[in-house]
Amino acid sequence: MKKSQYLFPLIFLIILIQNVSGQVFHNLNFQELCEDSKTGICFWDVSWGGTGAISSAIVDKQKCLRIKGEKEGSVGFSEQVVIIDNTWETSIIKISSLIKSDGVSGKGAGLNIGLYDDADQLIANKDMGGVYSLDWVTGINDWKHYTISIVAPQETVKIKIGAILYGKGSAYFKDYQVSVTPILNRQPSKLAREYIAAACDTIKMHSLFRDSLDIAKLKDVALSIANDAQTYQDCHLAVNYLLESIRVFGDNHSFFMNAIEIANWESEGSQVSKIEFPTFDIIDRFGYILVPAFHGGNESQILDFADSLQRGIEFLTDANIAGWIVDLRQNTGGNMAPMVAGLGPLFDSERLGALIDVNGHPDSWYYKNGQYYWDRDTGFSVSKHVKLTTQLPIAVLTSAQTGSSGEAVLVSFIGNSKTKIFGQPTWGLTTGNGNFRLKDSSEIFLASTIYSDRNGKTYHGRIYPDFIIEDNASSPNDAVIEAAMKWILEWKD
C-alpha cells in the first residue's frame, strides 16, 4: 500500500508532461517549415513584428528561429499557443532555449510564457526575470542556455510560449524545451515553511485585498511550489505565485524583486532601466515640461533628476512664459520622489497628498522650500530650490500610460489653484506599493495603500481629466497641447 501511494503522482506526472510538452506543443526545434505560417516555421506565429521580423535561419548548421529588429524601439514576438482540453492541476511550467545574439541593443531578447483562463483573460505572465531583470540578452553573445518558470493554476486553459526581441539587432533561438511539473504531494523544507510564512504574514497584514483572500489555502499551494527548497531563491517562484493570485481581486500593482534586482534598482546606471531625464521647451509662449518615468532608487540619480526639473523651471520662468504645460502622458511611474521634489515650485500647498493604509491611517507627502518629505520620513532636499514669485496657470497632460507614481504626481496637482488636467483618463494604478523585505533581502512590493489628494478625496482607479481630449497620433498637431494652450490664454481669475 505504501508503494501505491507514491505510484499515482509519478504516473500522473509522466502522463501530464507527455500530454503537454510532447503532444500539445509542436516543432520546438524549429525544424518543420510551413509556407502558410507567417514566420515560415510550423506552429510558430507572429504576435508582434513587421514583415520579415521573424523567420527561419540556419546558424552553425542548425535550423533556428530568428528575430530581427531594425531599431531600439522595435518589438518582434513569436508565440505558440496551446489549449488545455483535459483536467489541469496546478503545475510549474518551465521553458528553456539556447539564445544567441548579434548586435542586440535596447531591452534585449528573451523568453515568455503567458497563461489565460476560459474567458481568455490573462492569469499570469513571465518573461526574462522580473521588473528590473538583468537577464535580457543584449550585445554579441554565443549560444547560451536560458530558463524561466511560472506557476499555472487550475483555471489555466490556454498557454502561450514565446520568443521575443525588444530592440535592434538579431536574436536566434534553438533547442526550445517545455516541461510541466504538478505540485501534488510535495513536502516543503523548514526553510521553505519559514520563508513562505513570512511572505503570507505580510500579505495578510498589509494587502488592500486581504479580506478577499483565503490566505491559508494560498499558503498551502505556495508551500507545495517551494517544495524542499534548500535556498531562499528556491522559494521565489512561490512568492510570485502568491502575488499573482491577488490579481483576480483587483491587485494589478504588486510585484516581487529579488535581491539582485533590488541592488540593480539602487545602483547608478541600471543595465535595464536607463534613467531618462526631463526635457523642456518653449512652445509659443508656454513653458513645456516633459516628465518621464523614473524607475530607480539610486540617491544620486534621484537628486540629479529633481535638480534638473528645478533648473528647467528656472530657465522657463526667465523666458517670461504665459503658463505651464506639464506632460505626464508617457509617465508610467516608478519612484515619485524625484518627480514631486523637482516639480515642487509649481505647487501652492505644502501638503500634496497621502497614502491611506488598510487601517485608514494616512501618511502624507509634502514639498516646502526645496524639501520633499513625508509624515514618517524626512525625505531629501534639492541642491538649490527655485521659488516662483508669480503663479501662472498650469495644464497637466495625462494619458492611459500615466500610471502608478505618475498618477501620484498628478494627485499632487489636484487642488492646486490655476491648474487643470487635459487628455485621457489615467492607467488606474492608484495604489501605493509598500516594500517589505524578506530574509534574503528580496522585497515584496505590495499594494497596501490608496491615493488621497490634499483635500481628502481618495482614488480607486483611473483618474479622469478636467478636459478629455482625443489625441490623434496621425495628426501633425498635438490636440492635447493645443487645448491646454487655449485654456491658459483664456484663463481668468
Query: Residues 85-101: pLDDT tens digits?
Result: 778 899 999 999 999 99
Topology adopted by domain 266-490: 2-enoyl-CoA Hydratase; Chain A, domain 1 (3.90.226)
- Decide if 167 contacts 138 (C-beta within 8 A): yes
* Angle (nearest 5°) at CA 342 between 338 and 347: 120
Half-sphere exposure for 459 (CA within 13 Å, toward CB):
28
Query: Of 122-136, 176-190, 254-268, where does mean pLDDT reach its minimum?
Result: 122-136
User: Does this chain's domain 24-182 share its CATH topology with 266-490?
Assistant: no
pLDDT over threshold 80, residue 159 = yes
Q: What is the pTM of this model?
A: 0.86
pLDDT of res. 135 = 83
CA-nearest of 20, 74, 77 to 44 is: 77
| Percent of the residues in the chain that have a pLDDT greater than 90, as a whole number | 81
The superfamily (CATH) of domain 24-182 is: Galactose-binding domain-like (2.60.120.260)
- Decide if 482 contacts 488 (C-beta within 8 A): no
- Decide if 322 contacts 285 (C-beta within 8 A): yes
- Residue 42's Cβ-count burial label (10 Å; 0-12, 13-18, 19+) is middle
Q: How far apart are CA 117 and CA 152, in angstroms?
A: 10
> Under 8 Å CB-to-CB from 107, ≥6 apart: which residues?
136, 138, 166, 167, 272
Domain boundary assignment for the chain: 24-182, 190-251, 266-490
Largest interatomic CA distance in the chain:
88
Taking only the tens place, the pLDDT of each residue in 290-307 is: 999 998 889 999 999 999
| Grid coordinates given for 242 | 502568491
> pLDDT averaged over the chain?
91
CA-nearest of 302, 373, 276, 295 to 333 is: 295
Q: How confident is the model at residue 270 (pLDDT cuts 50, 70, 90)?
A: low
Query: Of 12-16, 25-29, 325-329, where does mean pLDDT reach its minimum?
Result: 12-16
pLDDT over threshold 50, residue 234 = yes
